[in-house]
Structure 1
Amino acid sequence: MATITRRGMGQWQVKVRRKGYPVQTRTFDTRADAEAWSRGIESQMDRATFVSTTAAEKTSLAQAIDRYKKDVCPSLARGGIAQMANLDRLKENLGATSLATLDSAQISAYREIMLKTYSLQTVRHDMGLLNRVLKCCQIDWGINLPRGLPTANVRLPKMPRARERRLKPGEEERLLTAARQYGGEIADIIIFAIETAMRRNEIAQMRWEQVELRRKVVSLLSEQTKTGEPRQVPLSVKAAEILTKRNVDIGPVWRITPNAITTAFMRVTGRAGLDDLRFHDLRHEATSRLFEKGLNMMEVAEVTGHKTLEMLKRYTHLNAESLAVKLM
């Protein structure tokens, strides 16, 4: 039953009471609007299709993001530090909107604005994180979204074809010759990267306390890996030789920062005439070589630290000559 009460000038409060449902209250500027709203609510209750949207109306996206930071982020890798910038960006641009009124048009507009400043991958991460926040609202926190998941009706920016750069015949020799002429640790780091498939940051942050030359293993800590999970990296003969000749047993393995590795590598590739080669391409090369040596996908994933086999598929650009040998 609906009760409509006049409250001051131009204010009409309506309350709908029905057994089995929480009391629904709303204030309108006109009695006609109040009556129309109450009829709609009562009709939904008659058909047993009514779901309260009060929580969504009273909760802004900013509040939902804050709760996600408090309740969910601590359980993520590294306490969700990697997600904080994305969450802050979403909160700044969409935070004032209530969960009840957040729609796909607003999210699409956000996507287009962000694409003018940020990379495709960053915007995709924003969208994915927004989707997870809204799912938490519905599934974990009992906040009904009257429009459903608005992110479901928004297209993600399409990523360009994945980079597939591998070293061509003679390029590794040219690269290492230029690296040795450049001096410092970059030549050894290049060889080590090709032999282990480790990322730039993982290499730069290595410490001797994590190296077990007898077992030929480097034990990476969770805070050193991109995935936030610890990993043991096997050392090939060449990789072990590089570490053995350094003859140090405590502190950082390399006396160079991640950014310095990138700078040195760019100068080396410039000298070698390989300007289109990036340091991360060495990981692609190393991963592909692991497949060419006969390791299966699960074994390669154990070495490289890829979380899903789907992510690993793009690295399997095997050398045709190696495949031809297997077909003989």
Structure 2
Amino acid sequence: MAKPRQKPSGKWEIGLRHPSLPGGRKYFTFDTEDEAIAYAQQWKLMKGADMPPPQELLAPTGPVREVRLTRILGEWEESGFAAPTQLLTLRTVAREVGTTKLSEANYAWVTGYLRMLKVEKNLSPCSIKHRMQALSRALDEYQRHNPGLTIANPVKLLPKGYSTYTEVDTKLAKARGGREKVTQTRDRRLRPGEHEKIVKVLSGYERPDRERGLELRGGNALLTLYLLIVGTGMRLQEAFSLKRGQVDMEAKVIRVQSSKQWRGKVSFRDVPMRPEVHKALSVYLSTRAMLPGAWFFPFLEEDGVKGFKTVSQRLSFRFRIAFEYMGIEGLHEHDLRHEATCQWLELKDADGRDLFRLEELNKIMGWTPGSLMAQRYASFRGVDLAQRLWSSYATPGGEPGASSGAA
């Protein structure tokens, strides 16, 4: 049953669905929340008894185009089809442009909104895209339920690259004390010696120029979590939410529950253990005993934990502190997934061929078949490519020169 929400006027509004209603839904306003709930319960009984709605409700009331964007955004938010990560963005867009009427939301209006996001709010291109995509999907959903509308979705009329700052946008933003924002593409990989530094500090190393080392809650849990992520490419939540029964040490396979599913869907994938990962997990398990249903890592059982989000924030912070403690700059926890992807791509068999096909890598990393995410995550170091190139041209004596097949 739908839940009523309070309007700025103080009255309570509730949206009720029925396929016979214009647009499949109709909103009702009441003086109190109890009245709204009582009416919704009556409506539920009518639907359960297959009774049609009252005839006076079946005709459209007033011009449909005068609806405001706050209602359109709210309907998309409550539809169940909006991704959970988009809900906060929808509420932000509603605060910014919710009072705008649908009839006013044309191309000129959306370009004005776009200019406001760049000049007044000085947002990054990524943040601008999130807002525009949320607005566009809400408008699409509303048009699907109102096929009689002739207005086009103005967001889809924006040119390619609309979120990038133009020269005019940059000048206006700087005039208001802002600056040009650009899309940040992350391709940070572990540099030589950084992996050893991270293992060292997560093993309890204390710098001589510091009064104390890091507080490693859970003993070797954070070290093992790091080795697991960098060795498999598992997402942070997928790793710390593992249970003992998902880790098969004999088969050398981890049964991972994907953290990217929503609408109640639960999906698993099998991730093979590389020898170094298997060794790290073996050492970790030798320090503690646990039942198959127990959490593999202790982070979800710490004081003050209110869910996965709390643990994600805590662990991201702990990794950042560990990196900074060893003088490693610009490295984030999620960069470890990029590093793992590149390592999977660089694995070769005895004949020098790729050890895994691209579709197999997509399965390991939790991407859909045919996904191009591997290309996005691949960050091959130029020095590695140069060494590979020169080694292929090395003469038997070891000096760079013509290939062995040259005259």
Deviation at 1:124, TM superposition (A): 1.2
Aligned with 1:254 (options 272, 284, 297): 297
Alpha-carbon separation, structure 2, partners of 1:188 and 1:315: 23
**Once the two structures are superposed, what CA deviation does each residue of 1:174-194 show, in whole Å capped at 9, x if it has no partner?**
221122124433222221111
Query: Residue deviations 1:258-302, cap 9 Å, x none?
Result: 223222222221232212211111111100111111223222211
Structure 2 counterpart of 1:153, from 122, 146, 157: 157
- Specify the code of the residue in structure 2 equivalent to 1:226: K
Equivalents in 2 of 1:236, 1:322: separation in Å? 24
Q: Cα distance, 1:251 vs. partner? A: 2.0
Shift of 1:196: 0.9
CA contact (8 A) 1:297 1:309 kept: no
Change (3 A) 1:236 1:128: same
State the identity as a percent. 21
Instruction: Give the equivalent residue in structure 2 for 1:96.
Output: 99
**Mean CA deviation greater in 318-327 or 284-293:** 318-327
Contiguous gaps of at least 5 residues in structure 1: 1-53
Residue aligning to 2:135: 130
Moved over 6 A (4+): none
Distance in 2 (alpha carbons) for counterparts of 1:326 and 1:199? 35
Cα distance, 1:108–1:203 mapped onto 2, change above 3 Å: farther
Q: Is the aligned partner of 1:317 residue 2:379?
A: yes
- The alpha-carbon distance between structure 1 residues 220 and 145, as it changes in their structure 2 partners (threshold 3 A), is farther
- Tell me, yes or no, if structure 1 residue 193 matches structure 2 residue 255: no
Distance 1:243 1:94, change over 3 A: same
Determine helix, strand or coil for the equivalent of 2:254.
Answer: strand
Change (3 A) 1:121 1:160: closer
Asked if the contact 2:224–2:281 (Cα under 8 Å) also holds between the matched residues in 1, the reply is no
1-structure distance, mates of 2:146, 2:344:
45
1:1-328 equivalences under 5 Å are: 56-71=64-79, 73=80, 75=81, 80-114=83-117, 116=121, 119-146=124-151, 148-154=152-158, 156-158=162-164, 160-180=183-203, 181=205, 182=214, 183=216, 184=219, 185-222=221-258, 225-228=259-262, 230-232=267-269, 233-247=271-285, 248-249=290-291, 250-256=293-299, 257-293=311-347, 294=354, 295-307=356-368, 309-318=371-380, 319-320=384-385, 323-324=388-389
User: Conserved in 2, the CA contact under 8 Å of 1:138 and 1:145?
Assistant: no
Q: Cα distance, 1:323 vs. partner? A: 4.8
- Which deviates more from structure 2 when the two are superposed, residues 103-112 or residues 232-241? 103-112
Alignment size in residue pairs: 267
Structure 2, unpaired ranges of 5+: 1-61, 165-181, 206-213, 300-310, 348-353, 394-407
Once residues 106 and 195 of structure 1 are traced to their aligned partners in structure 2, the CA distance between those partners, rounded to angstroms, is 49
Query: Which residue identity is paired with 1:244?
Result: S
Residues 231 and 110 of structure 1, relative CA distance in 2, 3 Å threshold: farther
Q: Distance in 2 between matches of 1:265 and 1:114?
A: 33
Deviations 1:228-256 (A, max 9, x none): 46232322222233333333333222223
RMSD over aligned Cα, in angstroms?
Answer: 2.9
Q: With structure 1 as the length reference, what TM-score do the two structures score?
A: 0.71
Structure 2 counterpart SS, 1:169: coil
Q: Which deviates further from its counterpart, 86-95 or 302-311?
A: 302-311
Contact 2:201 2:326 (8 Å CA) reproduced: yes
Compared with structure 1, are the counterparts of its residues 202 and 133 closer, same or farther at alpha carbon in structure 2 (3 Å cutoff)? same
